Amino acid sequence: MKRLSLLAVALAAAFTLPACAHGVGSLANITVIDRSSNRELPVHWKDGRAYVAGQPGNEYQVRVRNVAGEDLLAVVSVDGVNVITGESAQTTQSGYVLGSYQSMDVAGWRKSMKNTAAFYFTTLPDSYAARTGRPDDVGVIGVALFKRKPPEPVAMESWRAAPFAKQESGANAPAPATAAPSERMESRDSAAKRAQAEAPLGTGHGRVERNPARWTEFERATPHPVETITIYYDSTRNLIAQGIIRATPKPRDPRPFPGFVPDPA
């Protein structure tokens, strides 16, 4: 009997997106969608890292689009927490299975096979990770991708015909190494920038909504991910303070006829 690395969750409501969809990653495109404003958050790059700016109070979802042309297992973490199990995230844990060119939206913390609790941008103390005693990795979204192990070839004995394919028992595979904690957000460049910044954003444990899923079997081809995708997030103000987003000065809008003549100061 084959040894399965885990039982993974697959969304029944997975769907297909147009080929023009953009995102971070090569085997899968990862985007962050602001559900409150119904828009994809633009990605800002600095020093090889991807960042998005969240609006406090707005719900969001992580969209995963498989572009690999084969089945993928996506182990998803938010703020260093596995979105399915609620455990401190490791790549060896449960994830979502996507078929070739299939897409799905991870919109919340999984509470059962029927429901999830919505993600929303919030202050660090109100984040789910901080409220469960794990504030160190708040501000990061991670997706670890695994390919499916291909079927093993059937060993045919030269002296005997086999009426049914006989599966070889798998050898004991080495245990995957524990994933290191996510990299911390960059420190502010100067004390002045720190003064301009505000409390960092985290992800809250929001309203419970219907989001059915089912269990499926998935045997990983490798003990370690074939690709790990990381997106950092924070408020616009903090990303400006860190030099990730360039501040756009508000344009002047002088009026030719503003009204009556006021007294001078």
Q: What is the pLDDT of residue 138?
A: 96
Written as tens digits, the pLDDT of the chain (265 aa) is 333 333 445 443 344 333 334 689 999 999 999 999 999 999 999 999 999 999 999 999 999 999 999 999 999 999 999 999 999 999 999 999 999 999 999 999 999 999 999 999 999 999 999 999 999 999 999 999 999 999 877 665 554 544 544 443 333 434 434 444 444 334 434 444 444 568 899 999 999 999 999 998 999 999 999 999 999 999 999 999 999 998 877 788 888 888 888 888 7
pTM beyond cutoff 0.85 = no
Q: Which residues of 142-173 are buried (b: 16+ CB within 10 A; e: fewer)?
A: bbbbbbeeeeeeeeeeeeeeeeeeeeeeeeee
- Residue owning tokens 């689009």: 65
Rounded CA-CA distance 192/169 in Å is 62
Rounded CA-CA distance 41/34 in Å is 7
